[in-house]
């Protein structure tokens, strides 16, 4: 049986992090879980609790420590999906990974059993370059 997927998070690249945080926190009343330097790229991020989904707002820097995004225009950047755990607690992303490879979708496996579909490979299906990450179950 294939593992079930659920949407865990969405990442948006924004021009003005303060205004984006104001919209979600001050206007909509969503709790902010974290704010600070981005872990993966040069810039600052804020993580907003949207209930069952976490929203990451990323304001990438033009220069700085870490990777610098070549394309910093505001856009939907990625979807993060959670794959359920198997009966022994391991995460089984294998069937999804195999189907993506069989259908010629460019994937990048990660050391922890997670993987992502490259933005360029998703562009043909969605009309925009958006990464799709498939990872293990969300922490309880």
What mean pLDDT comes out for the span 96-113? 87
Residue 57 has pLDDT above 70, yes or no: yes
What mean pLDDT comes out for the span 99-108? 91
pLDDT of 12-42, one tens digit each?
999 999 999 999 999 999 999 999 999 889 9
What mean pLDDT comes out for the span 54-70? 91
CATH class of 5-62+69-135: alpha beta
pTM of the model: 0.83
Q: Provide the percentage of residues in the chain whose pLDDT is more than 90.
A: 56
CA distances from 49 to 11, 32, 100, 103 (A): 12, 6, 30, 34
Q: How far apart are CA 3 and CA 93, in angstroms?
A: 7
């Amino acid at each position: 049986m294939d593992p079930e997927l659920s949407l865990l998070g969405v990442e948006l690249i924004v021009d003005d992090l303060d205004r984006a945080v104001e919209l979600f926190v001050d206007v909509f009343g969503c709790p902010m879980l974290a704010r600070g330097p981005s872990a993966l790229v040069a810039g600052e991020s804020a993580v907003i609790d949207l209930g069952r989904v976490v929203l990451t707002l990323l304001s990438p820097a033009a220069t700085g420590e870490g990777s610098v995004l070549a394309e910093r225009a505001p856009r939907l950047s990625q979807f993060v999906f959670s794959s359920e755990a198997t009966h022994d607690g391991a995460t089984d992303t294998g069937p999804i990974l195999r189907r993506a490879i069989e259908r010629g979708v460019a994937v990048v496996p990660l050391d922890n059993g997670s993987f992502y579909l490259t933005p360029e490979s998703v562009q043909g299906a969605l009309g925009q370059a958006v990464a799709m990450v498939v990872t293990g179950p969300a922490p309880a």
